[in-house]
Amino acid sequence: MTATTTRTRRSRADRPAPDWELVYKRNYIERMKRDRPPLDVRDELPELIARGYEDIPEEDIVRLYWWALAHDKPKMGTFMVRVKVAGGLVTADQVRALARIARTYGRDEAELTTRQGIQLHWVELAQLPAVMADIEAAGLTTNGGEGDTVRNITGCPVTGLTHDEAFDVTPVIREVAEHFYGNAEFSNLPRKHKYTISACTAQCNAPEISDVALIAVEQGGREGFTLRIGGGMTNTPRISRDIGVFIPRADVIEVLEAVTNAWQRDLRYRISRAKARIKFMMDDYGPEGMRAKIEETLGRPLEDGAAPEPKVDADHLGVHEQGQPGLVYVGVPVPSGRVTGTKLEVLADLAESYGGDVRLTRQQNFILGNVPASRVDEVKAVLRDIGFDLDRGRAFGRSLACTSHRFCNYSVAETKGKLEEMLDELTAHYGAEEIGDLAVHVDGCPHACAQHWVGEIGLQGTTTRVEGSDERVEAYDLTVGGGLGTRSAIGRRLLRRVPTTEINGVMDRLVGSWLDERNRRGDIDFTLGDFCNARTDEHLIAIANNAEVTAARPDTSVAVRVPGPLLSLVGGEDRVEVQAATVGEAVEAVADRFPEFRATVLPGGTVDRAFLVAIGDEDVRGLEGMATPVQPGTDILIIAALSGG
């Protein structure tokens, strides 16, 4: 009898660290950053403009990301420009400047982001130097809005206004932003890196899904922070973990440097971009090991501490008293985050009229701060006149949608318009008040910029074939049961490839069944997440499809997921199902069906350097390469070497 052995893969923390030679051999983007530092591309803009858009090398298009400049879809010469707004706090003058910039360069369109920033589209190549100069003249920046940098620093949008926060962290956010934004030492990171800093008792800033989260506390009569690390979205989402330390307020920048350096100096996290985020370091080391690495980098031990749990849930929508007598803040839902320069101009004038400010939220809304209580009715009337009706419904302010396939090259399905369409129908059917606590997150691709994994209902765009034909239509994978705050959870995938013509009905049946159960219980706090978590997948699928409960059928195929920019090579099919026993067999099967895919992704029979092949977040080069075995139901991902928002 022949003995069988089981291979146990070691954590990367236990493996010998690679050297830079191996990093440069395996990672094309690291070679590019070494040879042509991306921040230098700004000085090269006049030359690129003189060449013309069509003659700019793809490598230079990638380098522009470090200045938050990304080409719009289709690639016709216009750009998205993303503005960083530390903590989401902008003055009336800055809002007015953004309004003028949107009108001048962005066809009067703009969108609020899930990182409390704002971004434009339609900006022409020749306008990039001017738009960047105008943004900087307003005291804002695009530096590091994309690329391997410290991204926009987020926080609770009403910090400094509430009764119950430990202390006002606004000065800390500003200090951290001033130190890290544009800092060359932190602009060549393994991947993007996201900080959030807050004293909000509801933890509305989503520390659970941030790379690094500072949560304000008082300990021993001192102001400071606890530290969570390792949250993130994309294909394999993670909830961040508390590493058990207390950081005095004065030590914040020093400790953030140590956290970031412990990660960026460990070359294990530069070998493959599929495994480069700090969440994978947390996977490998765990909270205790992560703390030890940070302390080693810092050169001293950290004090013990414990991150508090959120006490309540809050979205800051509506009118709320501030800690300052006679003042309120007004949280305004912005459906899908869409605004215009014209509307921003009105908001600037309104805020200036009472000496207030504007605060952008991670839910793609805005808050008017420091509003005199005596002027609330007037403020609400002005907002209503420009299309921001506080009575439209909280679900419009709690739900998120990514940029969508109108502009994003990776998105394969409509998001913003689809979200508003679904919410309008649900509101008409059940009433704005009834669905007010609903949070629907809609993404156009697996990058999860709208965080579909933590929506009570999450939709991820895909495509499907019309039955009986070769026509492909937009569709959605559906997850349920996600949440943040006191109900923090990663959602579970329930349905795949629901056609866009059917998804509204699926949503209506799920929401209707939840509301029926909530009313039967007489429990207003019974959420859709509670409803889904109390039922099996088979039961929920039956509700969604208006069918009898049946046992799940086994999936015997594997799927190769193709990113948006390559869809033209595979007939628009973003998820190609094949029968295969290994990764190589699966990718070859796709290449056999689509010769243009082979020529682009597998030239000469090997994967082109511009792409990675992964299972989940595992680069197959770290497994058994293209010989890696796959089981039925596996998703194999083709990933562009630099992708994601």
My answer on whether 414 and 508 are in the same domain is: yes
Among 274, 304, 334, residue at a domain's last position: 304
522 and 579 assigned to the same domain: no
Strands 327-332, 318-321: pairing is antiparallel
- 484 within domain boundaries: yes
Q: Is residue 481 part of a domain?
A: yes
Which pLDDT score is estimated for 340?
Answer: 98
Query: Strand order in 472-480's β-sheet?
Result: 400-401, 440-443, 457-465, 472-480, 492-499
d(CA 252, CA 225): 8
| Phi, psi of 311, rounded to the nearest 5 degrees | -85, -30
Cα–Cα distances in angstroms (integers) from residue 358 to residues 96, 101, 201, in the given order: 11, 17, 21
Sorted by sequence, the CB contacts under 8 Å of residue 641 that are 6+ apart come out as 27, 28, 29, 273, 609, 610, 611, 612
Pairing of strands 195-198, 212-219: parallel
Quick one: 593 and 469 in the same domain? no
Q: Look at residue 639 in the predicted model and tell me its pLDDT.
A: 84
Task: Establish if 312 belongs to a structural domain.
Answer: no
pLDDT value of residue 623: 87
Report percent pLDDT > 70 for the chain: 96
Last residue of a domain, one of 348, 381, 397: 397
Final residue of a domain: which of 397, 416, 439?
397
Q: Domain with 279 in it: what CATH number?
A: 3.30.413.10
Query: Cα–Cα distance between 452 and 322 in angstroms, integer?
Result: 32
How do residues 268-287 score in pLDDT, each as one tens digit?
A: 999 999 899 999 999 999 99
CB 640 within 8 A of CB 610: yes
Residue 420 neighbours by CB under 8 Å, 6+ apart: 335, 336, 396
Can you tell me whether residue 529 is helix, strand or coil? helix
Q: What is the rounded distance in angstroms from the CA atom of residue 29 to the CA atom of residue 59?
A: 9
Q: How far apart are the C-alpha atoms of 216 and 202, rounded to whole Å?
A: 12
Q: Are the CB atoms for 82 and 106 separated by under 8 Å?
A: no
Q: Are residues 524 and 438 in the same domain?
A: yes
Say yes or no: 99 and 130 in one domain.
Answer: yes
Q: Is the same domain home to 130 and 246?
A: no
Q: For residue 326, give the CATH number of its domain.
A: 3.90.480.10
Inter-residue contact 361 to 318 (CB < 8 Å): no
Tell whether 293 and 341 lie within a shared domain.
Answer: no
| CA dist., res. 350 & res. 355, Å (int) | 9
Estimate the crossing angle of helix 537-545 against helix 500-521, to 10 degrees. Answer: 110
Q: What is the pLDDT of residue 508?
A: 96
Residue 162 maps to a domain: no
Same-domain status, 507 and 603: no
Outline where 594-634 has alpha helix (H). 595-601
Q: Comparing C-alpha atoms, which of 230, 242, 207, 227 is closest to residue 281? A: 230
Cα 515 → chain centroid: 29
Give me the phi and psi of 575, to 5 degrees please: -135, 105
Number of residues written out for the chain: 645
Q: Which residues are bridge partners to 443 per DSSP?
A: 460
Cβ within 8 Å of residue 520, ≥6 positions away: none
**pLDDT recorded at residue 235:** 82
Identify the helix (H) or strand (E) that includes residue 223.
strand 222-229
Structural domain includes residue 522: yes
Q: Please check whether residues 194 and 289 belong to one and the same domain.
A: yes
Q: Is residue 3 part of a domain?
A: no
Query: Are 225 and 128 members of one domain?
Result: no
- Under 8 Å between Cβ of 642 and 305: no
Q: Is the peptide bond before 37 cis (omega within 30 degrees of 0)?
A: no
Encode pLDDT of 550-585 as tens digits.
655 556 688 898 888 888 888 888 888 888 888 888
Look up residue 172 and give its two tokens: 């800390």
Kindly state whether residue 2 falls inside one of the protein's structural domains: no
Q: Name residues of the chain where pLDDT drops below 50.
A: 1-8
Q: What CATH number should be reported for the domain holding residue 598?
A: 3.10.20.30
Whichever domain contains 98, its CATH number is 3.90.480.20
Domain that holds residue 385: 318-397
Q: What is the pTM of this model?
A: 0.90
The answer on 448 and 333 residing in a single domain is no
Helix (H) or strand (E) holding 256: helix 252-264
Q: Which two tokens stand for residue 403?
A: 């940029």
pLDDT at 7: 41
Q: Which two tokens stand for residue 215?
A: 């949560």
- 87 and 108 part of one domain: yes
Residue 272 lies in a domain: yes
Output the pLDDT for position 565: 85
- CA pair distance 465, 468, nearest whole angstrom: 8
Tell me, what's the pLDDT at 642?
A: 64
Domain count, the chain: 5
